[in-house]
Amino acid sequence: MRVTLCLLAWLLLAPLIRAEDSGVSLAPSYSAASIVNSASNLTGALAPNTIATIYGENLSWTTRSLTASDIQNGTLPNTLAGAGVWIFLNNIPAHVFYVSPRQINFLIPSDLLPGKVRLRVTRDGRLGPKAEFRLREAAPALYQLNETTAIALKADGSVAAPESPARAGEVVVLFATGLGETAPSFPRGAIATAAAQIVRRDEFRVLLDRSPVPAGNIAYVGTAPGFAGLYQINVWLPEGAGEDPEIELLLGGEISPPGIRIPVRR
């Protein structure tokens, strides 16, 4: 299944747009603690090809979202026209989804190696501080409808919800970021043009109420074609799945945050 452009916009661009700051020419302000995984909103949960968020002040003088015209030759832009905002990680320019005075959503370069990373934002040539954090090999995180419910598409394309839950034995599609390298891989900032499984597929697990789903129930885990930094997981819910099970993603030694559930009925 392909995620729709509307859903992507909801995933990446839904945060509240706050009022712009005054016209005083202040440098961008942020810290390592305000750079988070866009799905989990957790500091430090970052990996190559992860969609991330910076919170701060004076990040941009305007609010601007990615549009189709910003995408050139199948690649996301490094800056959004009229915003004058750039993000550099170890001097590599990141690709940008959204900018506003207090928030930036961007893609961590897929070819950036795990380890210590130095991030810096510039706005119209004004430099923000150097913020250092450690990039992990993987940082799995599920996109959510709300604080406790994962986005899970049913076979008919509708979203599983308490009033229209998924059923045990049904296939659902989940959306995540932070799942690392894929095969085939795509150039930095390029939109995935085809399905591509994650390289560490054998280490990947879906846990329901802390119990792993059988490997054979995971039909696909890899890129969401048509997007960058977004992964999808197609999984058959076991016949014995409990009602509204807690769901976690496990990849190597990294696990997604607890307390997130899927609306499921037998």
Query: Hey, is 70 helix, strand or coil?
Result: helix
Q: Which residues does 81 contact at the CB level (< 8 Å), separation at least 6? A: 64, 70
Residue with tokens 């995408």: 71
Mean pLDDT of 33-37: 98
pLDDT tens per residue, range 136-177: 999 999 999 999 999 999 999 999 999 999 999 999 999 999
Which of 260, 59, 80 has the alpha carbon at shortest distance from 160?
Answer: 260
Q: Which residues does 220 contact at the CB level (< 8 Å), separation at least 6? A: 195, 197, 232, 233, 234
Name the maximum alpha-carbon separation found in the chain.
Answer: 60
What pLDDT score does 206 carry?
98
**What structural domains and CATH numbers belong to the chain?**
5-135 (2.60.40.10), 141-265 (2.60.40)
- Does a cis peptide bond (omega within 30 degrees of 0) precede residue 184? yes
pLDDT tens per residue, range 61-112: 999 999 999 999 999 999 999 999 999 999 999 999 999 999 999 999 999 9
- Give the model's confidence band at 266: pLDDT under 50 very low, under 70 low, under 90 confident, else very high: confident
8: amino acid identity, one letter: L
- Give the model's confidence band at 36: pLDDT under 50 very low, under 70 low, under 90 confident, else very high: very high
State the DSSP code for 5: H
Mean pLDDT of 201-207: 97
Beta bridge partners of 247: 208
CA–CA dist 44, 35 (Å, integer):
8
Strand ranges in 56-212 using DSSP code E only, listed in sequence order: 64-65, 85-89, 92-93, 95-100, 103-107, 115-123, 126-127, 131-135, 141-142, 144-146, 149-150, 152-153, 166-167, 171-177, 182-183, 197-198, 204-208, 211-212
